[in-house]
Structure formats: C-alpha cells, structure tokens
Amino acid sequence: MSVFEENANLRDHHRRLLAAKYELRRNLYKALYKDPSLPSDLREENRFKLSKMPRNSSFTRVRNRCIFSGRARAVYETFHMSRIVFRTLASKGMLNGIKKASW
C-alpha cells in the first residue's frame, strides 16, 4: 500500500470517528430546522449551527475503502476488500468458504 492509499484510509477512519461523534447533534439540528411549526428565527439559528459543524462529521463524506489496497471503488462491504484483492485471495484459496464457481 502506498503512502497516499494509507493516508486515504486514515482520513476515512478520522471521518468515521467524527461522524459518530457528531451524529446525534447533527440529527437534532437538522430536525429542528426542518420543523415548520417552529418560529423562523429558531429554525434559522439551528441551520446556522448545522453549517458551523465540521464538514467531515457528515456520514455522506465517509467512503468504504479496501483495507489491503486503499481502493475506494468496487469494494465488497462484507469483506472490506476490493474486487481485485478479493479475486487474488480467493484464487489462492486464502478465503475460507469461498471457491470458484464451476457448472
């Protein structure tokens, strides 16, 4: 794994921690500013508070990455690895219960 891929995995891990930390507060501000029964100044205040939160505390910025290569695309969620790494490990027989299909 190169330095960039390792940094990308660290960055993604940091985003996951921030998202978990601010999840409750973010959902509260979001619910308060979307509630039409509240006064507009209170809704605007909660929208402002939401905008001042760290950007990386949003779950939309979290990306599933391969734990071996750091690849962000074509990652199997159950295995946490990319399709390329999965195929090489499966063909070597290093994944328990996985075998090549033949019919």
Confidence band (pLDDT; 50, 70, 90) for 1? Answer: low
Reported as a single tens digit per residue, the pLDDT across 19-75 is 999 999 999 999 999 999 999 999 999 999 999 999 999 999 999 999 888 899 999
CB 61 within 8 A of CB 55: yes
Is 4 a residue whose pLDDT tops 80? no
In DSSP terms, 75 is beta-bridged to 82
Half-sphere exposure of 43 (CA within 13 A, CB side): 9
CB 71 within 8 A of CB 77: no
For residue 29 the two structure tokens come to 């501000």
- What domains sit in the chain, N to C, each tagged with a CATH number? 1-63 (1.10.287.1480), 65-102 (no CATH)
